[in-house]
Chain A
Amino acid sequence: NAGVTQTPKFQVLKTGQSMTLQCAQDMNHEYMSWYRQDPGMGLRLIHYSVGAGITDQGEVPNGYNVSRSTTEDFPLRLLSAAPSQTSVYFCASRYRTSNTGELFFGEGSRLTVL
């Protein structure tokens, strides 16, 4: 079972470069989200989506864009990378209804911005 798949696992960027972190899930989950994890800060929500064509901002959305054209995919775009975006990024998904809200995570993407 694939679950939630993130690519790439590691990436090094220079300041100002752009890139896309890919996330795909095969569980037909309506809800998908992106978190970043930093030492001492825990996991912070960047953006989330409750279905195809619907996205919304989380706690730390600045510098990131998302789109949701299909149920399966939820890419995260960094338009102009900054050193402050050095972090580990996690994609997560779940069913949206409250009774089946278990969240499933990908393995993470470690990004370094020089």
Chain B
Amino acid sequence: KQEVTQIPAALSVPEGENLVLNCSFTDSAIYNLQWFRQDPGKGLTSLLLIQSSQREQTSGRLNASLDKSSGRSTLYIAASQPGDSATYLCAVLSYNTDKLIFGTGTRLQVFP
């Protein structure tokens, strides 16, 4: 059974810092991994999708990497801003299943 873990559960940093959020999964047989952002009281917004054949994806100040063999992904946020404050979730889609399994998220606060 696929299990997804995110560490840390919460993070508070000053504006301008570069951040790394971690996601680990137990079964490396995956189609893809997706990172989401969730603002309080809102739905989830997709940030980056990494296919199993890819090593990383970039969008603006965000960079996500994938190491299937070790069961890990990282989300790198460069030059953090207060507007980055949100909960970040990762989710994996395993082979032979249509179920996307989520981690419990990292709650990020960036203060001015």
Whole-angstrom distance between the alpha carbons of A43 and B44 in the complex? 11
Cβ-Cβ contact count across A and B, 8 Å cutoff? 59
Interface residues on chain B, number (Cβ under 8 Å) = 23
Contact B31 A42 (CB under 8 A): no
A90-B44, A101-B32, A108-B43 in contact; A42/B49 too (CB < 8 A)? no
What are the interface flags for B22-35 relative to A under an 8 Å C-beta threshold, 1 for contact and 0 otherwise? 00000000011010
- Which residues on the B side are within 8 Å of A103 (C-beta)? 34, 36, 44, 46, 91, 100
Whole-angstrom distance between the alpha carbons of A86 and B43 in the complex? 17
Q: Which of B31, B44, B91, B104 contacts A41 (CB 8 A)?
A: B104
Looking at the assembled complex, report how far the CB atom of B43 sits from the nearest CB atom of chain A, in whole angstroms.
4
Contact A31 B98 (CB under 8 A): yes
Q: How large is the interface on A (under 10, 10 to 19, 20 to 34, 35 or more residues)?
A: 20 to 34
Say yes or no: is A40 at the interface (Cβ < 8 Å to chain B). Answer: yes
- Which residues on the B side are within 8 Å of A75 (C-beta)? none
- Which residues on the B side are within 8 Å of A40 (C-beta)? 104
Name the residue on B nearest A54 (C-beta).
B98
Say yes or no: is A48 at the interface (Cβ < 8 Å to chain B). Answer: yes
Contact A45 B43 (CB under 8 A): no
Whole-angstrom distance between the alpha carbons of A3 and B47 in the complex? 16
Q: Which of B32, B42, B98 contacts A48 (CB 8 A)?
A: B98
Name the residue on B nearest A98 (C-beta).
B31
- Which residues on the A side are within 8 Å of B104 (C-beta)? 40-42
- Which residues on the B side are within 8 Å of A99 (C-beta)? 51
Whole-angstrom distance between the alpha carbons of A96 and B36 in the complex? 19
Q: Which of B44, B98, B102 contacts A56 (CB 8 A)?
A: B98
Say yes or no: is B75 at the interface (Cβ < 8 Å to chain A). Answer: no
What are the interface flags for A44-82 relative to B under an 8 Å C-beta threshold, 1 for contact and 0 otherwise? 110010100000101100000000000000000000000
Looking at the assembled complex, report how far the CB atom of A25 sits from the nearest CB atom of chain B, in whole angstroms.
13
Sample of 6 further A-B pairs with CB below 8 A, known A40-B104, A43-B89:
A35-B102, A42-B102, A44-B102, A90-B43, A101-B32, A101-B93
8 sampled A-B residue pairs with Cβ under 8 A = A42-B102, A42-B104, A43-B44, A45-B100, A48-B98, A103-B91, A105-B43, A107-B42
